[in-house]
Amino acid sequence: MRPLKFLHIHVNGELREVDNDLSLPKLVSLLNLKPEQIAIELNKTVVRRAQWENIRLREADQVEIVHFVGGGSDSYPQITQITTVQLRHSISKSN
Amino acid sequence: MSTVAQAKSDRLEIGGRTFTSRLIIGTGKYRSFEEMKEAHRASGAEMVTVAVRRVPLDRSSESFLDHLNPSLQILPNTAGCYTAEEAIRTARLAREALDTDLIKLEVIGDQTTLFPDNEQTLEAARILAKEGFVVLPYFTDDLIMARKLLDAGCPAVMPLAAPIGSGLGIQNPANLRIMREQLPDATIIVDAGVGTASDAAIAMELGADAVLMNTAIAEARDSAKMAEAMKLAIEAGRLAYLAGRMQRRLYASASSPLSGVVR
C-alpha cells in the first residue's frame, strides 16, 4: 500500500492535516509551542519528553497537549472537551 | 519554651516536604499577574496550586509558570475533572510537565455545587498513590472517607468547609472537629469555603493543619491585603489551637477576686 502523504490527527480535539511521519518535536514547533512546561498525551497515554523524538504520528492519532494555567479549587472546561468552532477553524486553516 | 517559639518550630509536613507556612493558595481569578504576585508575596505561602489545561492552538500563549516566584512549591491540581479517568490522565500529564509527584486530586461530581465525587476520588487516589504520586485529595467532610483516603496512601486529606468559591466560611465545624479528634495523626487541610480571615482562623482553631484557599484572596478588593490578613489569621488560629482554648460555660465567671470588694 502506498503510504499516505498527509495524516489526519486530532490535536486538543481539533482536526489537523499534517505531514506523514511527523515527529512530536516537529508538531510542537509547527504549533509554535514552547516545549518547556508542556506535556503530551498520545492516544490517552503520556509520552515522556525523552521519547518525543522517537514518536512518529499515525493516521487518526489523538494528541493532547497541556500546560498550566491559574487555578485554585475550581472548575474550568474539562480536558476532553471539544469545541466545534475551533474544529471548523482548524480544518479551513490546514488547506 | 514560649508558645511563639513553639510555633516557630511547628512545621507542616506533606509527603516528605516541610513548610513553615500553613497557608496554601491558588493562582486563579486574579485581575492581573502583578496582583497575583503581590498577593502571593503578602500571604507568605510556600505552596501554590495550578490547573492543567489544553494549550490554545493558533495563538501564542504566555507561560503561566513564569509568573510564579521560582521558590514556590507548585501543586498541580485536577480541577475540572469529573471522572477518575480524567483526573488520572491529568495527574500523569502534570507530573510529566512539572517533574513533581505532588497532585491535588479533585474529581467534581456536580456543576452547581462543585461537590466532590467521593467514590471517583477514592478510586483515582488508590491508582495514583500506587503510581507513586503524593495525592492530596479534595473530598466531602466525611470521617469514613478520610480514613479510606489515608488507607489508600494519601499523606494528607483535604475536606471542604463549604462549596468551592462560595466564601460561606466554615459550615461544618462539628465534622471537622470529629475528623481531627478521630484522626489525631492525619494531616488535615481545609480546602474551599473560606471567605475572610476569621474563617481561616476558625479552621485552624478546629485543628486543621493547613488551609487552602483561592477566591477569598483573589476576589478581595485588595487581594494583597487580604492575603496578609489570611497569613495572620492562619498563624493566630494555629497558636490558639496549640494553646488550647478555655472551656465554654453558660454563665459568667468573674475574673477579679470576689473578696475585698469595697462596700
**Contact between residue B13 and residue B36 where contact means Cβ atoms under 8 Å apart:** no
pLDDT of B150: 98
**Contact between residue B170 and residue B202 where contact means Cβ atoms under 8 Å apart:** yes
Facing residue for A14 by CB, picked from B50, B53, B57: B57
Q: At what angle do helices B118-130 and B84-98 cross, to 10 degrees?
A: 40
Q: Could you tell me if B133 lies within 8 Å of chain A, comparing CB atoms?
A: no
pLDDT of A83: 36
Would you say residue A86 has pLDDT above 70? Answer: no
pLDDT confidence band for A3 (50 / 70 / 90): low
Chain B positions in Cβ-Cβ contact with residue A40 (cut-off 8 Å): 96
Nearest CA in chain A to B192: A73
pLDDT confidence band for B50 (50 / 70 / 90): very high
Q: What is the pLDDT of residues B27-48, one digit of tens each?
A: 999 988 999 999 999 999 999 9
Would you say residue B5 has pLDDT above 70? Answer: no
Q: Could you tell me if A74 lies within 8 Å of chain B, comparing CB atoms?
A: yes
Percent over 90 (pLDDT), chain B: 84
CA atoms of A45 and A64, how far apart (whole Å): 9
Q: In whole numbers, what is the pLDDT of chain B averaged over residues?
A: 93
Q: Could you tell me if A44 lies within 8 Å of chain B, comparing CB atoms?
A: yes
Interface touch A75/B138, C-beta < 8 Å? no
**Contact between residue B53 and residue A67 where contact means Cβ atoms under 8 Å apart:** yes
Output the nine-digit C-alpha cell for A70: 491559574
Interface predicted TM-score (ipTM) = 0.83
Residues 6+ apart with CB under 8 A from B240: B201, B204, B205
| Nearest-10 Cα torsion for B81, B86, B87, B90 | -100
Q: What is the pLDDT of residues B148-184, one digit of tens each?
A: 999 999 999 999 999 999 999 999 999 999 999 999 9
Q: Which of A13-27, A62-76, B59-73 has the highest mean pLDDT?
A: A13-27
